[in-house]
Amino acid sequence: MSTHTLTRETVTALVHNATTAPSVHNAQPWRFRCFLGTSTLHLRSDPQRAVPHTDPHGRALHLGCGAALMNLRVAAAHEGWHLEARLLPDPWDSELLAAVRLTAFGSGKEALGALYPAVRRRHTSRYPFEETEIPEAVRSELAEAARDEGAALIFPTGWHLQEVVERTQEAESRNVTDRGISEDLKQWTHGGVPFDHTAAAGVPEYAFGPRRLGGRAPMRDFAGGRAVSGRAATAFEHHPHLALLSTALDRPEDWLRAGQAMERVLLLATLKGLSSSFAAQALEWPDLRRPLRDPATGSGHVQMILRLGYGPPGPATPRRPMGDVLDIEP
């Protein structure tokens, strides 16, 4: 075992990778506090960055923070660090989502490190994808990646797929007329231009993708029905490849596990040349979430609906500066 110690530079680089994770409306609801002396890093939720109407129970918040934790694990493994994470270690402090200990600087890299090139390459793509099938071997690898994190990933077909598409469309129509959901969208979207990081959070207009004009791909319209100048309208795929990520239980720690599984699947998908987006609308309405379950088993709680396919990559979106998200103590 090496005597390698954790430095400010290493921690900053690791957290920088963590914060490229997806989060609902790009709210980035996380904070990191590092205690250099004990090589410990705390991942905390940031209640100021909740999206209250869309995510009243904080489920999506935990998913985003779980995704950030996965990126941290991948970046640490890439650098040769061994990382141990305890989820929700303090029952009296629900904002402390994970305590992470970087225990040793190993000689070999851990397997998760192979996903590292995808950490900065993965972006949400709200463009139409090709109708091309995703090979069975790739789908099984993605399902295995989810399983390794304690979640299940299935690719619905037939009437289950139809059900998922219809529930998502129903949720999308409700969202357009729901006052609270529209307020969330207004707060977390802005007319940013690429690489102008003055607005460090939220979804900029350049990332909305074109308006859907035909096709069955379930898309969230971040414009909320309003016109955005210069935004094209186009047909999306008729046979979307959707993947449902589920966990057996539905507690905050399951949401954190689901977030890690989601990001692991997305990173692997990116390495396999797939683009990805999310369709979480139906999960935000309790009566629409339940019928999404796998009809073969009828069990499990769906945590995320991913849309995968071959198509254009999405653009990079802003992230908050490190000084806003990371405190380092001696």
Q: Which residue ranges make up the site for ligand FMN (CB under 6 A)?
A: 22-26, 60, 63-64, 67, 123-124, 126, 203, 220, 277-281, 314, 317
State which H helix or E strand residue 65 sits in. helix 59-78
Between 14 and 24, name the residue whose CB sits nearer to ligand FMN. Answer: 24
End-to-end CA distance of the chain: 23
What is the nearest approach in angstroms of ligand FMN to the Cβ of residue 91?
24
Q: What DSSP line would sit under 154-215, residue for residue?
A: E---HHHHHHHHHHHHHHHHHHHH-HHHHHHHHHTEE---TT-TTS-SSEEGGGS-PEE-SS
CA distances, 111 to each of 76, 81, 82, 146, 226 (Å): 11, 12, 11, 15, 45
What is the nearest approach in angstroms of ligand FMN to the Cβ of residue 51?
9
What is the nearest approach in angstroms of ligand FMN to the Cβ of residue 155?
18
Between 134 and 256, name the residue whose CB sits nearer to ligand FMN. Answer: 256
Between 102 and 279, name the residue whose CB sits nearer to ligand FMN. Answer: 279
Which residue of the chain is nearest ligand FMN when measured via CB?
A: 22
Between 87 and 279, name the residue whose CB sits nearer to ligand FMN. Answer: 279
What is the nearest approach in angstroms of ligand FMN to the Cβ of residue 230?
19
What is the nearest approach in angstroms of ligand FMN to the Cβ of residue 78?
19
Q: Is 283 exposed, middle or buried (0-12, 13-18, 19+ CB in 10 A)?
A: buried
Between 39 and 303, name the residue whose CB sits nearer to ligand FMN. Answer: 303
